[in-house]
Homo-oligomer: A and B are copies of this chain.
């Protein structure tokens, strides 16, 4: 007698993955229908569906109703990043966290911020510049703009006790978040605040969040020399 093995969706996924890697299906090729794969492998269609969902999430295949499942023609490396709140990040590395409010002002969004949020009308904002510290030394310098239309109550918050970073994460959930990463050269002011040399190469994380269509905040986080961002283990 033949032993019937119980396939898990991971087995099915690996089977299909292997078929693609081996060249049986090349970029752009159409795979069999889920139902056929299920019959071939002797499992339920929903198991194939689960496997395909994973392959689709990881960017290996593309699925369309009626169009079927195709091997992605232009391969991509897809990765997931976790960006914790800064206090947590410092503590995780064994540092003692501190922060310092540098400047706080109310003004209309400048053109660059309007562009970031796709705004066409003047928009009142709270601008907050703050320094995150690790063991008392500068760690990240953040320049943040917060929408006073979407988050009016931030006006009454004491941002010297709790950083704007933390207050917002805990109090203002968002729907949409855009990130961008790039490098800048420290100008004299940044160098002064971070206690580094002018001209040093600094890694920057820019984060913008919305709730539905309403802008919440945009922040430019300037890290100190040597900072690295890693993908989720």
- With beta carbons under 8 angstroms apart, the residue of B84, B178, B201, B228 that contacts A76 is B84
Return chain B residues, CB-CB under 8 Å to A229. 180-182
Is A35 in contact with chain B by the CB < 8 A criterion? no
Return chain B residues, CB-CB under 8 Å to A136. none
The interface residues of chain A, by DSSP majority, are classed as: strand
Please report which residues of chain A, range 215-230, place their CB below 8 angstroms from some CB of chain B when the two chains form the complex.
226-230
Q: A77-B82, A183-B184 are in contact. List 15 more A-B contacts (CB 8 A).
A: A21-B173, A74-B84, A74-B85, A75-B170, A76-B84, A77-B83, A78-B80, A80-B80, A178-B230, A178-B231, A180-B228, A181-B181, A182-B228, A183-B183, A183-B227
Residue interface bits A172-195, CB-to-B below 8 A is 1, else 0: 010001111111110000000000
- With beta carbons under 8 angstroms apart, the residue of B170, B179, B182, B231 that contacts A179 is B231
